[in-house]
Amino acid sequence: MIETKLTKSLGLKHPIIQAPMAWAAGGELAAAVSRAGGLGSIGAAYGELDWMSEQFGIAYGQRVACGFITWAILQKPALLDYALEQQPAAMIFSFGNPSGLVQKVQRYSIPTICQVQTFRDAQHAIELGVDVIVAQGSEAGGHGEKRATFTLVPEVADYIAANAPKTLLCAAGGICDGRGLAAALMLGADGAVVGSRFWASKEALVHPNMQNAAIRANGDDTIRTKVVDLIRNLDWPIRYNARVIKNDLIEKWHNKLSDLEKHLYEETKKWNKGLKNGDPNKVAAFVGEVAGQIREIDYAETVLESISSEADSLLKERSRYVLK
Ligand SMILES: Cc1cc2nc3c(=O)[nH]c(=O)nc-3n(C[C@H](O)[C@H](O)[C@H](O)COP(=O)(O)O)c2cc1C
């Protein structure tokens, strides 16, 4: 078993947080991860009351976290109140300035987790007194930015060690097995946030056709793009884009965003139809570069335990590299 400051502070068996993935991370996945000893989270994302209420209902009885997309929830403050009433195990914010949100959550003594994509945003979150910083590298599935996990995590770890030793750190982006978790711990993190690998689990709210597209893909088949936000009419700040698996739709529009704007009505209609049918040619699967390491769709508990036990074995076994 691996014990870190994260497991001790949040009362976990494994130093793994399941990422709050929009629409994919519902109550069933969050509860399964928490039940198995990680921290599961509901991906409340852009905030929709009916969906949140249904998912919190499904997770009822398990201590799960709730994650919002910062810029979106700033426009719907009542939904943060609703989430807080559910007494989540933690609140997770990502993508935008979380100042006001963090201050509010702190008044409820609920742990705050902020996912950041740059060193500067990590510094800001640390100044706000956030409990757990998640340094997210560009390998990640879904939205993100340019920095790589391998350099962002140690840079933030050094800053935390020197300036805010009580703040905890997790690595996100590209972690889907024990090698990734062990590496994250070596880089100075106290744990890992895992998204894509749980997206490819039996409890995720994802059409099996989309999951199978991820099994067929490798890391080269993914791309960071703005196409998916334009088509879904989501007003994401310019600095962020989303990693998805390339398909004909993405190939067609990735370098022609202004042309896409002229065809938005038809393309959005086709997207929505594809979403309903789970058609990976019409809708892009939000998966990270770890697509190349996902071989099957397992139960979340199996995913969690295999990542943790593999990391445990590796950390013990690799000490043989050190000459006595
Ligand atoms: C399908 C999908 C949806 C995501 N949605 C969100 C989201 O709503 N809010 C958020 O903070 N992060 C979201 N993310 C990013 C994750 O929080 C996390 O950073 C990422 O999954 C970690 O990288 P990995 O996919 O390589 O594990 C999403 C990721 C995926 C794969």
User: Of ligand 1's atoms, which has the minimum distance to the CA of residue 174?
Assistant: 26
What mean pLDDT, rounded, does the chain reach? 97
24 lines ligand 1 (CB under 6 A): yes
Place of tokens 């195990």: 89
User: Of ligand 1's atoms, which has the minimum distance to the CA of residue 196?
Assistant: 25
pLDDT at residue 136, rounded to an integer: 98
Q: What is the mean pLDDT for each group of 10 consecutive residues in the chain (324 residues)?
A: 97 98 98 98 98 98 97 97 98 97 97 98 98 98 98 98 98 98 98 98 98 98 98 97 97 97 96 95 97 97 98 94 86
* Whole-number Å distance between alpha carbons of 24 and 307: 20
pLDDT digits (tens, 9 = 90+) for 167-191: 999 999 999 999 999 999 999 999 9
User: Of ligand 1's atoms, which has the minimum distance to the CA of residue 136?
Assistant: 19
Measured by CA distance, the residue closest to atom 17 of ligand 1 is 19
138 lines ligand 1 (CB under 6 A): no
Provide the token pair at 187.
Answer: 């880089």
Measured by CA distance, the residue closest to atom 8 of ligand 1 is 22
Measured by CA distance, the residue closest to atom 4 of ligand 1 is 21
Residue 106 alpha carbon to ligand 1 centre in Å: 24
Provide the token pair at 222.
Answer: 């993914």
139 lines ligand 1 (CB under 6 A): yes
The neighbouring-strand residues paired with 136 are 172
Residue 324 alpha carbon to ligand 1 centre in Å: 42
Burial class (CB in 10 A: 0-12, 13-18, 19+), 316: exposed
Residue 287 alpha carbon to ligand 1 centre in Å: 8
pLDDT digits (tens, 9 = 90+) for 30-80: 999 999 999 999 999 999 999 999 999 999 999 999 999 999 999 999 999
Residue 73 alpha carbon to ligand 1 centre in Å: 16
Residue 25 alpha carbon to ligand 1 centre in Å: 10
Which of 20, 26, 160, 23 has the alpha carbon at shortest distance from 92?
20
Ligand 1: which of 18, 21, 69 to mutate, judged by most atoms within 8 Å of the beta carbon? 21
The neighbouring-strand residues paired with 170 are 134, 191
Q: What region, left, alpha or beta, does residue 11 occupy, with left being phi > 0 and alpha being psi -120 to 50 degrees?
A: left
User: Of ligand 1's atoms, which has the minimum distance to the CA of residue 290?
Assistant: 26
Residue 61 alpha carbon to ligand 1 centre in Å: 24
Cα-based distances in Å from 245 to 95, 263, 279, 284, 292 = 21, 21, 12, 6, 11
Ligand 1: which of 95, 143, 223 to mutate, judged by most atoms within 8 Å of the beta carbon? 143
Place of tokens 């742990």: 111
User: Of ligand 1's atoms, which has the minimum distance to the CA of residue 206?
Assistant: 1
Largest CA distance in the chain: 67
Report H helices in the chain: 5-10, 27-35, 49-58, 70-73, 77-85, 99-107, 119-127, 149-163, 178-186, 196-199, 208-216, 227-231, 248-253, 257-262, 264-277, 300-317
User: Of ligand 1's atoms, which has the minimum distance to the CA of residue 173?
Assistant: 23
Place of tokens 């209902």: 57
Instruction: Write the DSSP string, 17-82.
Output: EE---TTTS-HHHHHHHHHTTSB-EEEEET--HHHHHHHHHHTTTS--EEEEEHHHHTT-HHHHHH
Residue 320 alpha carbon to ligand 1 centre in Å: 35
